Amino acid sequence: MHYFLKNIVFLATLVLSAATAYAEKPLLRISCDENDTNVKIMINGVYKGDCPIDISVDPGNVMLHAQQPVSAEMERVFIQKFFISDGVYRRIDVVLSAPQLTVAAYKARQAEADKKEQKAAQQELQAAQNGDMQAMLRISKRYQDGKGLSKDPAQAELWQKKYQEAHEATELKSLMQRAEAGNSAAMFDLAKRYENGNGVPQDTEKSQAWQQKAQAAETQKRLKEKQEAEARRRAKVEERLKSYSMTPNMDKLTKSQSGKSDPFDALSSTVASPMALVSDMLSSPSHSAERSKIADELTPHAAAWAEPDSLMAKVHTKRQLITAETK
């Protein structure tokens, strides 16, 4: 009898201790929207049942993860991390997110994207090895960021250096082509490069040779520009003379000399032309202002068209005499 009573007391004590321990554990009431069904509840990565649910948890940090499948690749989730103490009761209302990729689907898509990046990186690496300068830059960036290739700062620096060398070689080739084509600015630049050994072996003789070629090209360029400007001026005056309705004396004269290649040579090829031009200029008061203007424009350049005793020089001299007499 004594033994029996002793066992009863022991069992009662054990049950009371268990009940007390259970009562001291934190309690969670997890509820969901009434329209949300099949919502799985996991506590610290362990499945506990479907929502809604009342459960006891160990005190400390708790990670609550609610998950509702939408499709093979999509789900709605709710995640909350918190700390809970002994004897605490807490209610949590689950608010599910918009549909999103499941972890498995996200990993699968990421793996596919990584595979594409690796393929693209290999193609760019091949292009860079074949001399594509833009591919060299992209490969350098890939090695720097570890995108499509294993991250490697040394390789990133190497391909950056290769790009710089290729870029400088291309610039030098273009400079050479422009210099050989007669571009004086390119010649001066090339002379400077040979002087300083910038991109080419230092060579004083080549530097001086290109310097002389550049100076000669500049002189030729200025002469050509001067000749072109003179030609434009002559053409402009010629056009004005052609569009200007001459009086009978000059009309007859210019027609008789129409075979001349230069209208100014045609006018200066006859002794009679100065008097004819002066006669026309004095006999046409309505055009005297325009004639005077043309004569003034032609005067400074008479020596360029003919000798000092040419038509224009004589006309100018005669006109000055007539002007002096009328004053």
pLDDT tens profile 2-28? 444 444 544 445 444 444 444 578 999
pLDDT, greater one: 270 or 173? 173
> Cis omega before residue 52 (within 30°)?
yes
Domain containing 111 equals: 105-163
Other C-beta atoms lying within 10 Å of the C-beta of residue 300: 10
Whether residue 35 is contained in a domain is answered as: yes
Can you tell me the distance from the alpha carbon of 228 to that of 261, in angstroms, rounded to the nearest whole number? Answer: 18
DSSP annotation of 219: H
In this structure, the answer to whether residues 135 and 88 fall within a common structural domain is: no
In this structure, the answer to whether residues 110 and 96 fall within a common structural domain is: no
Whether residue 7 is contained in a domain is answered as: no
pLDDT tens profile 178-211? 999 989 898 999 899 988 888 888 889 988 998 8
CB < 8 Å & 24+ apart, contacts of 219-228: 221/184
Whether residue 157 is contained in a domain is answered as: yes
Structurally, how many domains does the chain consist of?
4
Positive or negative, the CA dihedral 57, 58, 64, 67 is: negative
Nearest to 320 by CA among 295, 301, 297: 295
Whether residue 168 is contained in a domain is answered as: no
Question: With 70 as the cut, is the pLDDT of residue 74 above it?
Answer: yes
Q: What is the CATH number of the domain that holds 26?
A: 2.60.40.1120
- Predicted confidence band of residue 87 (pLDDT cuts 50, 70, 90): confident
Whether residue 95 is contained in a domain is answered as: yes
In this structure, the answer to whether residues 274 and 317 fall within a common structural domain is: yes
Please state, for a pLDDT cut of 70, what percent of the chain lies above it: 66
Global model pTM greater than 0.75: no
Whether residue 176 is contained in a domain is answered as: no
Whether residue 96 is contained in a domain is answered as: yes
Can you tell me the distance from the alpha carbon of 239 to that of 261, in angstroms, rounded to the nearest whole number? Answer: 14
In this structure, the answer to whether residues 288 and 236 fall within a common structural domain is: no
Q: Say if residue 190 is exposed, middle or buried (CB neighbours under 10 Å; 0-12, 13-18, 19+).
A: buried
pLDDT tens profile 218-251? 888 888 888 888 888 888 877 776 665 445 555 5
In this structure, the answer to whether residues 111 and 48 fall within a common structural domain is: no
Lowest-pLDDT choice from 62-76, 130-144, 186-200, 301-315: 301-315
Other C-beta atoms lying within 10 Å of the C-beta of residue 68: 21
In this structure, the answer to whether residues 261 and 285 fall within a common structural domain is: yes
In this structure, the answer to whether residues 84 and 113 fall within a common structural domain is: no
